Amino acid sequence: MDNFNLIMKQPPELPTPSVEQVEQYLRQWDNDAKESSNEKALNRLFRETYPKNTDIGEIIIKASALNDLYGTYVLSLYEMCRHISRLDIDNRLKEGDLTLIEDISCLTISEKTMKFYSFATKYCSHHKPDIFPIYDYYVERVLWHFKKKDNFADFKREELKDYPTFVSVIESFKRFYCLEQFTLKQIDKYLWQLGKELSLIHISEPTRLDV
């Protein structure tokens, strides 16, 4: 029994990232009716229907849709939307200001400051997907898996919660595995799907929520 448990807890062997692997997962994404439909709906809402972020009513509609479809677990959605409306983020989105993620993610509720990092990356990504890649635990696990396997970049796991570092790590991932032909959004889709599979087969870590 002890040997069996030891074998079950070994990290799985994932295919080495390659152009063929990314293309396979992009086709898989396009063929997934739920994921592709959700993405198209949110893209239309964020980029066509309500592209600005000054009217709190429009921000509430976008944040509510994001929260419902992705389960971002923002504890006080209204306070988050009011927070975003006060930050005047439109020019910073346009300029690709990565420090915007930190400013959006830090929210004070009842005199307690909380951080909704994944939500902030998703909110910005649906405005500018090729500038702001999405962070969540699935993506984190894949990056850390290949860091340990191939040492494609020098970083600590907790540093992925620093957004400029996170983006730099993804860019290093692209260069190391010769994936420069893909956009950040395409790499995003690949990493997320691979991370989801990794979470299903790798049982040595407890599941947790990253918001």
In Å, the largest CA–CA distance within the chain is 60
Q: What is the dihedral of CA 199, 201, 207, 211, to 10 degrees?
A: 0
Q: Dihedrals φ, ψ of 174, to 5°?
A: -60, -45
Q: Put residue 151 in one of left, alpha, beta given phi > 0 → left and psi -120 to 50 → alpha.
A: left
> What is the tens place of the pLDDT at every residue in 20-76?
999 999 999 999 998 889 999 999 999 999 999 999 999 999 999 998 888 778 888
pTM over 0.85: yes
Average pLDDT over all residues of the chain: 89
Residue 107 parent element (H or E)? strand 106-109
Q: What is the C-alpha R_g of the chain?
A: 18
Residue closest to 67 by CA, chosen among 109, 126, 132, 141: 126
**Helix axes of 19-31 and 33-44: crossing angle, nearest 10 degrees:** 80
> What is the tens place of the pLDDT at every residue in 71-94?
778 888 999 999 999 999 999 999
> What is the tens place of the pLDDT at every residue in 101-160?
999 999 988 888 899 999 999 999 999 999 999 999 999 999 999 999 999 999 999 999
| 202 vs 10: CA distance, rounded Å | 8
- Counting DSSP H helices and E strands in the chain, the numbers are 11, 2
More confident residue, 210 or 61: 61
| 79 vs 76: CA distance, rounded Å | 5
What pLDDT is attached to residue 1?
45
